[in-house]
Amino acid sequence: MAIRFDGQVALVTGAGAGLGRAYAIDLAKRGAKVVVNDLGGDPHGEGADRSPAQKVVDEIKEAGGEAVANYNNVAEYDGGFEMVKQAMDTWGRLDVVICNAGILRDTAFHNMSEEDWDKVVAVHLKGTFTVLRAAWPVFRQQSYGRVVVTTSSSGIYGQFGQANYGAAKTGMLGLMNVLKQEGAKYNVNVNTIAPVAGTRLTATVMQEDMLQKLVPEMVVPAVVYMVSQDCTDSGYVIEAGAGNFNRASIVKGKGVQPGTDDLKDAEWVQQNWQQICDLDGAEPMWRTGQTLKDYLASKQ
């Protein structure tokens, strides 16, 4: 069955180029009305330019779709509010939010400045908060919402020179894991994409031949499905890029469960270290103290 967004409104941040542009264009082709947000700064978070967002809007309109440009800064609380307000003022609802805006300021940790840390965390982590905080009451009131936030292999597994970026991207997992629970009773699903694509950000760390191969459009199918009403899963992390798709997950191992009868010491941990760290039979969790399997069973 074709995935459509007729009658729905989507907000995509950082949509003036790269992945965000690709998401916005595909959603518009499928019937969504799209708020195309982009401050238009450079890859390091400096400056502003309205032309990237407007260019994508023009592209969508020329293809017969509906879109409006938004130039607010996701790192500002009022910026997130104004994006959502624009969607509501223009079309009266908001169904989809894709938090994609990002910058890079790569440097080894011992050389990282406070500004390098603050700016990256502000755009990625706070910038996701500002938009979703404004959208959340709308989702609750209409008992519907689909959200995709953006993490990275740097946040899931780590990458040298990206302590600021990796920390912010791991923060997306914590945010998703809470919001998936708070949104469940309101039919609000929150998932995470970990994309690999050739964009102006990755151009700072990738070779030219890889940039040409890793087109953003290869990531789009996963994101568009996750923000559709057809997707009923929530709390998933999907890695996508180079034609490949897979799920990544934080899991909990069986460990050792001796109970509280005897107080253990460091030597006991040393002796049982291999079993404590063994991941055989590990399971994804839904919330603290409940496996995903148990949660899904409780919904049946």
CB atoms within 10 A of CB 86: 18
Catalytic center residues:
165
- Spatial separation of the C-alpha atoms in residues 14 and 84, rounded to whole Å: 14
Based on its alpha-carbon atoms, the radius of gyration of the chain, rounded to whole angstroms, reads: 20
Q: How far is CA 119 from CA 106, 145, 170, 188, in A?
A: 12, 29, 16, 29
Alpha-carbon span 15 to 135, nearest angstrom: 17
DSSP, collapsed to helix, strand or coil, labels residue 97 as strand
Q: Which residues pair with 247 in a beta bridge?
A: 238
Cβ neighbours of residue 141 closer than 8 Å, sequence gap 6 or more: none
* CA gap 270, 117 in Å, rounded: 36
Identify the three-state secondary structure at position 119: helix
